[in-house]
Amino acid sequence: MWTSIPVRLMGLCLCLVVTVQAHAQDPHFTQFFASPLTLNPANTGLFSGIGRIAANYRSQWGSIATPFVTGTVSADFQLLPGIIPANDIFGVGGLLLYDETGGGGLKTEYAAVSAAYHKALDMDGNITLGVGGQLAVVQKRIDFSKLVFEDQLTSNGFDPTLPSGEYIPNASITYPDYDVGLIYNQLIGQWSSFYAGLSYYHISQPHESFLGANYHLHSRFTAHGGGVIGFNASSGVYLSGLFMKQGSATEIALGGAIGLLVNGIPETPTVLYIGSWYRYRDAVNPYVGLQVNNLQVGISYDVNTSSLQAASLHRGGMEISLIYTYPPPGPNLKRYKCPKF
Choose between 93 and 11: higher pLDDT.
Answer: 93
Query: Is 79:56 a contact under the CB 8 Å cutoff?
Result: no
pTM of the predicted model as reported, rounded to 2 decimal places: 0.86
Residue 163 has pLDDT above 90, yes or no: no
Amino acid letter for position 313 = L
Query: Is 176:206 a contact under the CB 8 Å cutoff?
Result: yes
Phi, psi for 312 (deg, rounded to 5): -85, -15
Query: Is 89:341 a contact under the CB 8 Å cutoff?
Result: no
Length of the chain: 341
What does the pLDDT read at residue 308?
Answer: 56
- CATH assignment at residue 130: 2.40.160.40
Residue 252 has pLDDT above 50, yes or no: yes
**Does the residue 15 lie in any domain?**
no
Choose between 327 and 246: higher pLDDT.
Answer: 246
Amino acid letter for position 304 = N
Q: CA triplet 33, 237, 306: central angle to 5 degrees?
A: 55
Query: Is 91:77 a contact under the CB 8 Å cutoff?
Result: yes
CA distances from 160 to 5, 65, 100 (A): 17, 22, 21
Exposure string of 280-305, with b = 16+ CB inside 10 Å and e = fewer, is: eebbbbbbebebeeeebbbebbbbbb
Mean pLDDT of 80-93: 94
**Does the residue 336 lie in any domain?**
no
Q: Report which of 108, 141, 136 is spatially closest to residue 18, judged by C-alpha positions.
A: 141
Q: Which of 148-162, 205-219, 241-255, 284-298 has the lowest mean pLDDT?
A: 148-162
CA-CA distance, 236 to 222, in Å (whole number)? 26
**Does the residue 294 lie in any domain?**
yes
Predicted confidence band of residue 159 (pLDDT cuts 50, 70, 90): confident
DSSP 67: P
Question: How deeply is 189 buried, as exposed, middle or buried, from its count of CB atoms within 10 A (0-12, 13-18, 19+)?
Answer: exposed
Residue 7 has pLDDT above 60, yes or no: no
Predicted confidence band of residue 332 (pLDDT cuts 50, 70, 90): very low
Q: CA triplet 325, 326, 331: central angle to 5 degrees?
A: 115
Mean pLDDT of 53-76: 84
Task: Give the chain's domain count.
Answer: 1
**Does the residue 286 lie in any domain?**
yes
Q: What is the pLDDT of residues 29-52, one digit of tens each?
A: 999 999 999 999 999 999 988 999
Cross-strand pairs, 252: 243
Choose between 208 and 167: higher pLDDT.
Answer: 208
Phi, psi for 159 (deg, rounded to 5): -125, 100
**Does the residue 186 lie in any domain?**
yes
Question: How deeply is 205 buried, as exposed, middle or buried, from its count of CB atoms within 10 A (0-12, 13-18, 19+)?
Answer: exposed
Q: Which of 112-121, 267-276, 323-332 has the lowest mean pLDDT?
A: 323-332
Per the structure, the complete domain to which residue 180 belongs is given by 32-326
Predicted confidence band of residue 307 (pLDDT cuts 50, 70, 90): low
**Does the residue 243 lie in any domain?**
yes
**Does the residue 213 lie in any domain?**
yes
CA-CA distance, 211 to 101, in Å (whole number)? 18
Rounded to a whole number of angstroms, the CA Rg of the chain reads: 22
**Does the residue 8 lie in any domain?**
no
CA distances from 137 to 94, 176, 247, 328 (A): 12, 5, 21, 32
Q: What is the pLDDT of residues 108-143, one digit of tens each?
A: 999 999 999 999 999 988 999 999 999 999 999 988
Predicted confidence band of residue 328 (pLDDT cuts 50, 70, 90): confident
Predicted confidence band of residue 15 (pLDDT cuts 50, 70, 90): very low
